[in-house]
Amino acid sequence: MDVPEGDHLSPSAEHILTSSGRDVVFRLPAKRTAASLARERTRHVLQRWAIDGELRDNVLLVASELTANAVEHGTSDGGNVLVAMTLGATLRVEVTDGDFLRKPALSVPGMHADRGRGLLLTDALTTAWGVTLYPPLGKVVWADFALPESTGRIP
């Protein structure tokens, strides 16, 4: 099963940069709406890859959390966020922003805090995650998801 080229990926494919059977990259404006756009586009990719159920839900949550973090902490006004997805031995989601000075770190928010749980969720829902810095260009926060036996065997 291959993912069709860009214009078949989603109703708003103008932000798709590349698309092949196993790799998709899309650019989003660094605005408050970026997390919901990431979730929408990720949902379309996962549907094409026949990924559903709990794995789909976890990937959607992590993709939107990492995108929201990139917009809030890693971009300046007018910047962009890149979201890349790769289907291989694992399913990897990568979110790139322009801030190479701050490396996200796992922390535990206070009991009454209404934010700050994105990386905790990422840590709980993925098999691995991390940050790769690319000074002076920015950073990539990535998350890997284990695939069920029947998934990820794209020829």
Q: Over the chain (155 residues), what is each successive 10-residue block's mean pLDDT?
A: 35 54 91 95 95 97 96 82 95 95 82 77 96 93 91 47
What was the pLDDT predicted at 68? 94
Q: Is residue 41 packed enough to be buried (19+ CB in 10 Å), middle (13-18) or exposed (0-12)?
A: buried
| 122-128, Cβ contacts within 8 angstroms, sequence gap of 24 or more | 122/62, 122/65, 122/66, 125/58, 125/61, 125/62, 126/58, 126/62, 127/90
User: What is this structure's pTM?
Assistant: 0.83
What was the pLDDT predicted at 18? 61
